[in-house]
Chain A
């Protein structure tokens, strides 16, 4: 008897399985037809990096501090830079990333002191050569002279303001020294 119950039980389970796939058959496909429909990338999507264009600076704010170079586990960032004649802020003159090596771990973005690195939304980029180097500063080259000029002016104004403030402070100090203390 158990021979037949086994067969019947087995058949029942198979029919149940067929029922499940039949139910799935009637449902809508979940496919995203990729080249026709692009996927929606999440806000935090980690992709290739680029430099932020700050509104108040109208350009990037890389100060060539080398933090990202030091922390990059793929050793794919190369930066040159330093002082620019006449302004206080350090400026990068070269920011080369070999995207063929980059593993998109996001450590450089975490470590950046001026938050001038951000992720792009590129997800289908590919390198076709062994070295796939981009200079991230390239889009900012045209702004650089202007920025330096502006910065020079603002630095000079700042310096002048500071000097004026210092002078005022010195004056005030001199004044307080002259006057005897009122409060006992």
Chain B
């Protein structure tokens, strides 16, 4: 491929426009995203996301292994909400095959998933500030995130790729230390929220950089299927946990934060308020943790799924994560299609970025919280 000439956009007719390959190697492209920018000065005339640099063929791998062997893969599709994907996949299979989940396992799953959600949002908060040029909040967020990773590490044995879910339950039980650590963490996090509010949200430079920047209107959001916090910041109250409750979320009392503006600031606010709601869910879960088994006595290895098509969705930290499973009745799925939220969010970028500045690109792309391997799968 001839890199000197853009390979997808037509050459501009005048001399004033030029092309800028932002990525795949760029400090703030969160991995290997490539944005082909069509610029005049610093103004963006057009933008084309080029993806595929982190393709690992997870969907294809699913066709070559039994359902249970796909569990470790799910944590790696989106490494930031690995727990949610992991347990979401187990929940999908459970619903497809009809496996009962004990009450304790269900509550544990909710708690660890919400911890994972907070962890993901904290990392987003840090990297978003890094994109805006503030390095210090990034380190503070990582400090907090470290606590969550330590808590989850104690329970699951891993810090990022959990592989914690099993069909019908989870691998390891939680103990009193876990409950204690989680409670202590919630106390700490709520204090830190105050600090983040004063250090980041109140900061005049931050507000100037975010207010009115990168407005994703409700129309565009719905057109491209943007989900998760980015959609809720555009004023649509849609959350899979509420719209199609799964895994016992219907028993928890939580709000779905929404904002009207749809700009970077709104997305920031929605995510921060979502972390607070996750704290509430964890608290309720820790209080109402029932006794009992955490899964079937014997590991369920062989499945006998019914023939046909099946769709199940969970709310990941980035939005609507759907699994479309085509089963031919054997132990190996005929096809698993993963519907990942980052992909849809990225699709909306050309419409959103048109007419903004290069510096805004970084803020906007940062604010929609992309995980590149999730786009490519």
Contacts and interface: CB of A to CB of B under 8 A. Distances in A.
Interface of A: 9-11, 13-14, 16-17, 20-21, 24, 30, 42-46, 67, 71-73, 103-107, 110-111, 119
Given A42-B153, A73-B72, A17 B172 contact: no
B153 A45 contact: yes
A103 B143 contact: no
A26 B156 CA distance: 35
A42 B143 contact: no
| Chain B residues touching A, range | 20 to 34
Given A14-B204, A16-B202, A46-B157, A111 B299 contact: yes
18 contacts: A14-B203, A20-B195, A24-B136, A42-B150, A42-B157, A44-B154, A44-B157, A45-B158, A46-B156, A46-B157, A46-B158, A67-B301, A73-B71, A73-B72, A105-B72, A107-B72, A110-B299, A119-B157
Contacts of A110: 166, 171, 299
Nearest to A73: B69
Contacts of B146: 30
Residue among A9, A14, A16, A42 facing the most chain B CB atoms (10 A cut-off): A42
Given A30-B143, A105-B71, A105-B72, 19 more contacts: A11-B204, A13-B203, A17-B203, A24-B136, A42-B154, A44-B154, A44-B155, A44-B172, A46-B163, A71-B301, A73-B65, A73-B70, A73-B71, A73-B72, A103-B72, A103-B161, A105-B161, A105-B163, A107-B68
8 residue pairs, one from A and one from B, having the closest CB atoms: A10-B204, A105-B72, A44-B157, A46-B157, A73-B69, A105-B163, A42-B154, A13-B204
Given A103-B161, A110-B166, A20 B70 contact: no
Nearest to A14: B204
Contact of B154 (A30, A43, A73, A107): A43
A97 B321 CA distance: 34
A106 B161 contact: no
B73 interface: yes
B198 A106 contact: no
Contacts of A107: 68-69, 71-72, 163
B301 A13 contact: no
Contacts of A44: 153-157, 172
A183 to B, nearest CB: 40
A9 B157 CA distance: 48
A106 B71 CA distance: 11
Interface of B: 65-66, 68-73, 136, 140, 143, 146, 150, 153-158, 161, 163, 166, 171-172, 195, 198-199, 202-205, 299, 301
A20 B171 CA distance: 42
A173 to B, nearest CB: 36
A9 to B, nearest CB: 7
B157 A73 contact: no
B135 to A, nearest CB: 11
B138 to A, nearest CB: 13
Contacts of A13: 202-204
Residue among B150, B155, B203, B204 facing the most chain A CB atoms (10 A cut-off): B204
Nearest to B66: A71
Contacts of A14: 203-205
B143 A104 contact: no
A111 B301 contact: yes
A106 B161 CA distance: 11
B204 A106 contact: no
Residue among B150, B154, B163 facing the most chain A CB atoms (10 A cut-off): B163
A37 to B, nearest CB: 15
Nearest to A20: B199
A45 B153 CA distance: 7
B153 A16 contact: no
Contacts of A11: 204
B204 A9 contact: yes
Contact of B171 (A10, A42, A67, A106): A106
Contact of B136 (A21, A42, A104, A111): A21
Nearest to A19: B198
A73 B153 contact: no
Contacts of B166: 110
A13 B202 CA distance: 6
Contacts of B199: 16-17, 20-21
Contacts of B136: 21, 24
Contacts of B161: 103, 105
Contact of B198 (A10, A20, A43, A46): A20
Contacts of B73: 73
A45 B65 contact: no
